[in-house]
Structure 1
Amino acid sequence: MSYWDPMPDARELEGGPLPDPEGGTWTPAPSPCGLWSPSPDRWENRDWRNVPGPFYGAGTDNCWMGREIAPANVLYEDEWGAEFVYRQPRNRSETLAVLGAAAQDPYGGYACDGDDHWTPEQVREWWRDRGRVREWAVALDRLWSASRRADERDAAGGARAYLAHIDGDLGPWLRGYLFRLQEGRTARQGETLPDL
């Protein structure tokens, strides 16, 4: 899987209408949850489980609504249920879904300025330390897959999807993201991607 830059679509779509947890849509005020004007401390407080890329969660409090809107991209941490981005959007519809999840957060804990902060060294460090994320996801799946609560069982499915992403297409995707960070553009067909 090659890197696909979600930011052009995100800028176009962010004004709404955005998906909501009930399966409908609504139009938020401009810049849902401060995505385009994140506070300086948001990056510093991002959840360590966020996969590198433009979108991330830092101190969100959505009351477990993010996966109802963006199940292919959002997962909950197990301590407080805060949300983080386990897979960056791969297409326009996933970008819209992540924007919808972000817009539901009353604390504005999502941001999309990761490209301004991630460095190639930080991406490589995250990748080298991915075993920590894997261990967490395995434990979460074990804990929540036997839960009586449907939302926890769904989150266990998200943990399994995260593991499959780490073990599958995340490495090649991150190589494309490294190219984007280094060159300021998406790689063209046939161009050599940097190593992780």
Structure 2
Amino acid sequence: MTVGWDPVAGLTGEDRKLFQGRWEKRLWLNVPGPFYTGETDTCWTGRLNAPANVMYTASSEGSLEYVFRQPRNPDEVRQLVDAADEEPFQEYAYDGDRWWTPAAVRQWWSARGRVEEHLTATLAEYGDSVHPADRDAATGAREFRAYLAGGLAGDLRAYLFRLEEGRYPGAGERLPELG
């Protein structure tokens, strides 16, 4: 993630119109941050537009799209805008900062085992498929699993800083702990 950078600040007025999702419908798999999805379509267009940020659920969750990684740079924000534009139910949102609290972020993190279980189910469902979209979903599940085991903790600590301080941290600033 770009140090001190705010991913929402770059959204234009037209971009913002594409993000009509509501917090009450937020899918539990979305990683904490400003961007999230609700009850999206099942057309699987999100990864076509934003492969570094969007993932699909296993069919047990309805084959919905969700944000597995918050945008790390302006290009990824643009790709997420494109994903939101393709989503006919307009269930992408960018107002997560209004709803996430430090306690809620820490609670999501402490329940990450449930996310890991879902990724295991996703891989079991799509991992051996010959269908290109299924293979892409399996790739996304592997990417999310690696992110969950690696860089997500640091990104969530930076997000906690944003929630507590009202801005993303600058280089060298001390980050809050997750647990």
Would you call these one fold, judging by a TM-score over 0.5? yes
> How far does residue 3 in structure 1 lie from its aligned partner after superposition?
6.9
Alpha-carbon contact 2:4-2:167 (below 8 Å) kept: no
| Structure 1 residue ranges without an equivalent (≥5) | 17-29
The answer to whether the 8 A contact 2:128-2:135 is kept is: yes
Q: How does 1:1-196 map to 2 (within 5 A)?
A: 4-9=5-10, 11-12=11-12, 15=14, 31-32=17-18, 35=19, 38=20, 42-61=22-41, 63-79=43-59, 80-196=62-178
Amino acid at match of 1:92: P
C-alpha distance in 1 between matches for 2:70 and 2:99: 15
**Which AA in structure 2 matches 1:158?**
G
In structure 2, stretches of 5+ residues that fail to align are none
Task: Check conservation: 1:61, 1:106, Cα contact below 8 A.
Answer: yes
Q: Alpha carbons of 1:93 and 1:62: their partners in 2 closer, same or farther (altered >3 Å)? A: farther
SS in 1 for 2:175: coil
How far does residue 54 in structure 1 lie from its aligned partner after superposition?
0.5
**Contact 1:3–1:176 (8 Å) recurs in 2:** no
Separation (CA, whole Å) in 2 of partners of 1:72 and 1:91: 11
Aligned-residue CA RMSD (Å): 1.7
Q: Distance in 2 between matches of 1:144 and 1:159?
A: 9
Which amino acid in structure 1 is aligned with residue 50 of structure 2?
A: A
What are the Cα deviations for residues 137-184 of structure 1, in whole angstroms up to 9, with x where unaligned?
A: 122112201012110111000000000111111001100000000000
1:101 maps to a residue whose letter is: A
Q: Percent identity?
A: 47
Q: Matched residue pairs, number?
A: 175
TM-score (norm 1): 0.84
Cα distance, 1:62 vs. partner?
5.2
Q: Kindly provide the amino acid, as one letter, of the partner of residue 61 in structure 1.
A: D
Paired letter, 2:100 = W
- Secondary structure of 1:31's match? helix
Check conservation: 2:4, 2:171, Cα contact below 8 A. no
CA deviation string 1:17-63 (max 9, x = no partner): xxxxxxxxxxxxx712xx2xx46xx2011111000000101001151
SS at match of 2:55: strand
Q: Which moved more, 1:171-180 or 1:55-64?
A: 55-64
| Structure 1 runs of 4+ with >2 Å offset | 1-5
Contact 1:62 1:104 in 2 (8 A): no
